[in-house]
Amino acid sequence: MSTATLAPEGLARRVSPGTGVRNVLTLAWRNLVQIKHNPMELLDLSIQPIMFVLLFAYVFGPAMEGSVQAYLPVVIPGIIAQNALFAGMSTGFGLNTDITKGVFDRFRSLPIARSAPLAGRILADTVKQAWSMMILLLVGFAIGFRLETNVVALLSAFLLLLSFAVLFSWTSVYIAMVVNEPEKVQIFGFTVIFPLSFLSTAFIKSTDGIPGPVAWVMDNSPVTHLVEAMRGLLVGGPVLEHAWIALAWGLGISLVFAPLSLHAFKKRA
């Protein structure tokens, strides 16, 4: 018995970049095709945003800005931002499901790029995010929201939101690594993201009249900067001075949580 029959020469030592990209696309396909068998998820991605827009606009609009119409430029960018934060938790939820069900082990035993299972999931979640944002805008347009800028600004808004979402989703990746069941990712996400999105200007025009310390927190929240930049891009106003702070926050968050996640994963395995 020689080594050659057992271990044929010509086995690649590592994954080529081209193969890595293909692995990511295949795994992204896998995460998107799941929707076909789980229509509830499509509902989640579509109905929920629609409901939020309608409820906020018609219930709070008149009280907040005097009319539904006047509130739309405030609330649509806000809901888009909040939705992105919540949707980011689904990355962690799916990841934790894969880990606890053994699917992740199967992937990691295959000769594929090490980062592909995570990258594929993030790519798929980004597509889902874009879908949700589109639905939110379409509903907004249907009830009277107007794009006050241009198409380039609109595309930039998508780009900004998706970039922030990807960076922010590292928090949910980290949670996925340390909890032992997917539901806990959701619970954690809920308890953090609710206050995080409400302690911002996502649903209000300004923090005038809010007690000092609370207003300070709200004014300096990364969510506020994200929302303000989104407003600038969709209905006009300052963009860059907010966008860069939001992205810097995102970068900082990912720089902290990516290594933490990796460390937690190694410890867990």
Partner 1 sequence: MTYAIQAEGLVKRFGATEALAGVSLTAEPGTVLGILGPNGAGKTTTTRILATLIEPTEGSARVGGFDVHKDAHRVRQLIGLTGQYAGVDEMLTGTENLILIGRLLGMSRRDSRARAAELLDRFELTEAAERAAKTYSGGMRRRLDLAASLIGRPQILFLDEPTTGLDPRSRGGLWDIVRGLTDDGVTVLLTTQYLEEADQLADDIVVIDRGQVIAHGTSDTLKSQVGGQILEVRPLRAAEVGNAAAIVGELAGSEPELRDGLIAAPITDPALMPAVVRRLDDAGIAVGELSLRKSSLDEVFFALTGHHTDDIDAEADELAAAAKQEART
Provide the binding-site residues for partner 1, judged by CB under 8 A.
1-3, 5-7, 11-15, 19, 22-23, 26-27, 30, 33-34, 37-38, 100-112, 180, 269
Decide whether 3 or 63 has the Cβ nearer to partner 1: 3
The least CB distance from residue 36 to partner 1, in Å, is: 9
**Residue closer to partner 1 (CB basis): 110 or 127:** 110
Length of the chain equals 269
Shortest gap between Cβ of 24 and partner 1 (angstroms)?
10
CB-nearer residue toward partner 1: 71 or 107: 107
Q: Smallest distance from the beta carbon of 163 to partner 1, in angstroms? A: 27
User: Least distance in Å: CB of 261 to partner 1?
Assistant: 17
Q: What's the number of CA atoms in the CB half-sphere (13 Å) around residue 149?
A: 19
Task: Give the integer Cα–Cα distance in Å for 49 and 43.
Answer: 9
Contact between residue 112 and residue 21 where contact means Cβ atoms under 8 Å apart: no
Please report how close the Cβ of residue 22 comes to partner 1 at its closest, in angstroms: 8
Q: At what angle do helices 151-178 and 222-235 cross, to 10 degrees?
A: 160
Residue 202's nearest CA partner among 240, 162, 171, 161 is 161
CB-wise, 22 or 205, nearer to partner 1? 22
* Pick 108 or 146: Cβ nearer partner 1: 108
End-to-end CA distance of the chain: 35
d(CA 42, CA 60): 27
